[in-house]
């Protein structure tokens, strides 16, 4: 990763270029504060080289409008940031086959 930090004379741990398998940084999505498209665009502009995963904490993704969720996923993927649901996935099996059947549109 080319180091173009403002204070690049200060030492920091070197990291692989994306996609990384070590030294991964996870950022948390909507939970204690709102994380929308504009927030993520600003975050990725300043720190995108360091963000590897966006975790939608607390099942927040399940409350968002579908288009907003897809837009955030697409934005993350354009910046090589993986998206995950976190521990919310443990809730899905309690809803049995209805919750795990393939989505008819093929997405989400």
| CA separation for the pair 86, 48 (Å, rounded) | 20
Q: Is the pLDDT of residue 45 over 90?
A: yes
Model confidence band, residue 103 (pLDDT cutoffs 50, 70, 90) = low
Q: Which residue has the higher pLDDT, 86 or 78?
A: 78
pLDDT tops 80 at residue 33: no
Query: What is the enclosing helix (H) or strand (E) of 82?
Result: strand 82-84
**Taking CA 19 as the corner, what is the angle to CA 33 and CA 14, rounded to the nearest 5 degrees?**
90
10 Å Cβ neighbour count for 17? 9
At 67-78, the pLDDT tens digits run: 988 999 999 999
Phi/psi of residue 82, nearest 5 degrees: -75, 155
Helix axes 66-78, 37-47, angle to 10 degrees: 10
Of 36, 27, 46, nearest to 86 by C-alpha is 27
Longest dimension (CA), the chain: 55
pTM for this one?
0.75
């Amino acid at each position: 990763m080319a180091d173009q930090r403002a204070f690049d004379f200060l030492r920091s741990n070197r990291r692989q270029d994306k996609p990384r398998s070590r030294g991964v940084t996870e950022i948390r999505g909507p939970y204690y504060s709102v994380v929308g498209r504009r927030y993520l665009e600003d975050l990725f502009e300043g720190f995108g080289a360091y963000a590897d995963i966006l975790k939608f904490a607390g099942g927040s993704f399940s409350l968002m409008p579908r288009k907003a969720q897809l837009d955030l996923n697409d934005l993350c993927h354009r910046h090589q940031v993986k998206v995950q649901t976190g521990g919310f996935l443990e809730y899905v099996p309690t809803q049995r086959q209805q919750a795990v059947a393939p989505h008819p549109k093929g997405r989400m």
